[in-house]
Amino acid sequence: MTAEEKKGDGSPSSWIQQNAMKILLLFPPDWLPSEPYLSLPALTSVLRPAGHEVIQKDINVEMYDLMFSGKFLRHVQGRVGFELRHLQVVADRDGLNEEEAALKQQLESLTEERFTRLIDDVTEAKRILRNDDFYEIDKLEWATHCLHETMAVVSLGYYPAQICFPPIETDLVYKPFMSTEILEALDDDQINVYRDVYKFLIADLIEKEKPDVVGISIVQQKQLISTFTFCKMIKEQAPDTHITIGGNIVTRLRDAIKESKALFDLFDTAVLYEGESAFLQLVDALGKGEKDLSALPNLIHKDSSGAIQQNKEVFAENMDQLPPPDFDGLPLEKYFVPKLILPYLATRGCYWGKCTFCDHFQGYVEGYRTKQIAQITEEIKFLQDKYGNRYFHFTDESYPPALFRKLSRSLIDNKIDIAWTTHMRFEETLLDDEVWDDAAKSGCRYLHFGYESGNDRVLKLMDKATNLDAIRTNLAMSAKYGIWNHIMGFFGFPGETEEEASDSKQFVHENRQNIHSLGFMTFVLGKFSPVAMEPEKYGVSCYKNPEWDLALDYYFTVDEGLSIQDAMEVFEEFEQNHDGKWDLRTAVREYIFLYIDHFGTNELTQLHIRPDQRPSVYNNPVGMV
């Protein structure tokens, strides 16, 4: 309904009603279904007070809940039967090649008995994950294995797609970093499972609610195929619905999106950078029937001639003026955890903001900002009282040391009983017992640290400004006070030698008594990272494939040090030869977080892989015990 069709008496309250819009917010697959993502609740928190009706749907968690149900598995069974009949026709006519024969054998193994058992098993698996049985590791491990097995069966119904349960990533064969392949995927009924997700979860919603505006939040590249599938199908079902996309990935891909008319034909506008005020202004303008959107901030749109334009006006949020997130309407009971975990963001940007490998700053037009401690404390208490939860994930890019100290103290002083986890840099200002004692008493249970490297020269190249002695102390202190630490590192930063990569491995082994879990990878050259911006400075040559128009990283070679292949070999050797304590029966961060709080300790030996579960090829490094 347009503004002209709505009547009012001219009063302020009537103006809000007169221009009110119905907005459907969607969070698309694929993402971890263990807690809500913050983007929709953040938008909802400013749209509802402005008088707009908001329906927010986490399609990601709804999709996984659907896939692990008899309803969807019977749908998959029907697809399997169709594929078998097709293969039989091919066999009778031409014979089957090796791949087709193997597929036919797999499909034939999916008997009625197998589907019936699978339906019973996934029902029990979901119950375990949402119940206190979750805290029995054998049951948790069985349940997660059951979900992965189910996804393998689902994948056969959409062959050759590999549809997976996180943290394993789905592969639909089509490349999400090529707009041509995304466009090709949209109408593929065989492989593109998101077409069926739309039919099961969104089509009836569009028909029933008839939203004026649909907003879709995209936070990582692998959500692009599902997002544009939904956009196309919404436009086919309800052509007049205004579709807006936004999120960090949209900001990073803004130039490519502007250049792809075929992609832009699938939606109407894109919001860049921070979205709360920008999206609200867009919705208000649409509600008033405005056609000229050129003055709105953070917006890409089509002008009256159909040309794609990016507005010059940009806007960054004042953190003190933002309300707490509004989770009302999300299916909070459907997340795959026994206790609700809510995300909360107190800052925007990174307080350090200098790491040469990082490009997260692309999501903002301004640097680091934070809410005040009193406001943070008040909002956490408000959310705890409203939703009855005690578990919080502080999703800040990197929690500042001053805020870490002050918030811990404030939570204690205000007697707020929560358990929380966040992301940190190793800091020289966090070396004393008092700060770690306060953190533990305030409910800090799990810290995710950026370790990156155990070599001083490489850390300087990265501009981490991290002291190895400080890393040792931070690890020892967090371990001492019952806080689980997980460290992230990578091999192959430009210029890193094999000996320096060995320093990274040696450091973690020397400090293994104080390191609870870790994750390593190889260096990725992000498109907007300082290294990519000044490749000559780092001895790097970038290779840009023009067909990969939506790529967010580059293939590269280096003048000195480990090549990409060298770094991969170092990584694979480390995967085979590291302390066995870091091989866990669950690698999901939220699950470990809940276990630590439930058992009151960071010594969770039950999470360690048993000897009988360890591959026979695994070898402990020489001298390790």
d(Cα 491, Cα 22) in Å, to the nearest integer? 49
Mean pLDDT lowest for which of 7-11, 28-32, 494-498, 618-622? Answer: 618-622
The one-letter code for the residue type at 202 is: I
DSSP of 551-575, one letter per residue? -SEEEEEESSS--HHHHHHHHHHHH
CB proximity list for 577: less than 8 A, separation 6 or greater:
619, 620, 621
d(Cα 126, Cα 65) in Å, to the nearest integer? 8
Percentage of the chain surpassing pLDDT 70? 95
Mean pLDDT lowest for which of 72-81, 380-389, 459-468, 485-494? Answer: 459-468
- Positive/negative CA dihedral, 337, 332, 167, 514: negative
Contact at 8 Å (CB) between 376 and 346?
yes
Is it the case that residue 617 has pLDDT exceeding 70? no
Q: Which residue in 340, 364, 338, 339 sits closest to 350, CA to CA? A: 364
**pLDDT given at position 367:** 82
Query: Collapsing DSSP states into helix, strand and coil, what is residue 462?
Result: helix
**pLDDT given at position 361:** 72
**pLDDT given at position 17:** 55
Q: Which residue in 195, 255, 199, 252 sits closest to 225, CA to CA? A: 195
Number of CB atoms found within 10 A of residue 560's CB: 10
Q: What is the pLDDT of residues 319-357, one digit of tens each?
A: 999 999 999 999 999 999 999 999 999 999 887 888 999
d(Cα 255, Cα 245) in Å, to the nearest integer? 14
Q: Which residue in 294, 227, 228 sits closest to 262, CA to CA? A: 228
**pLDDT given at position 615:** 66
Contact at 8 Å (CB) between 52 and 20?
yes
**pLDDT given at position 351:** 78
DSSP, res 539: T
Contact at 8 Å (CB) between 277 and 297?
yes
Pick the CATH number of 339-613 from 3.80.30.20, 3.40.50.300, 3.30.200.20, 3.90.180.10: 3.80.30.20
Whole-angstrom Cα Rg for the chain: 25
- Tokens representing residue 10 in the block: 């001219």
State which H helix or E strand residue 47 sits in.
Answer: helix 39-47
The one-letter code for the residue type at 388 is: G
DSSP of 516-531, one letter per residue? -EEEEEE--EETTSHH
Model confidence at 102, in pLDDT bands (50, 70, 90)? very high
**pLDDT given at position 623:** 27
The one-letter code for the residue type at 598 is: H
The one-letter code for the residue type at 340 is: L
**pLDDT given at position 459:** 95
**pLDDT given at position 9:** 46
pLDDT, the chain, mean: 93
Q: Which residue in 591, 343, 625, 377 sits closest to 484, CA to CA? A: 591
Is it the case that residue 436 has pLDDT exceeding 90? yes
Stretch 224-249: mean pLDDT, rounded?
97
**pLDDT given at position 611:** 86
Model confidence at 624, in pLDDT bands (50, 70, 90)? very low
Q: Which residue in 395, 390, 352, 550 sits closest to 39, CA to CA? A: 395
CB proximity list for 450: less than 8 A, separation 6 or greater:
355, 398, 423, 424, 425, 426, 464, 487, 488
Model confidence at 614, in pLDDT bands (50, 70, 90)? confident
**Cβ-based burial of 339 (10 A; exposed 0-12, middle 13-18, buried ≥19):** middle
> Helix 564-576 and helix 498-510: axis angle, to 10°?
30
Domain locations along the chain: 3-60+195-307, 339-613
Sheet arrangement for strand 484-491:
341-344, 391-394, 419-425, 444-452, 484-491, 517-522
d(Cα 31, Cα 26) in Å, to the nearest integer? 13
d(Cα 161, Cα 150) in Å, to the nearest integer? 14
Q: What is the pLDDT of residues 134-187, one digit of tens each?
A: 999 999 999 999 999 999 999 999 999 999 999 999 999 999 999 999 999 999
Start-to-end CA span in the chain (Å): 70
* Pairing label, strands 540-543, 517-522: unpaired
CB proximity list for 423: less than 8 A, separation 6 or greater:
394, 395, 396, 397, 398, 399, 447, 448, 449, 450
Report the top-level CATH class of 3-60+195-307.
alpha beta
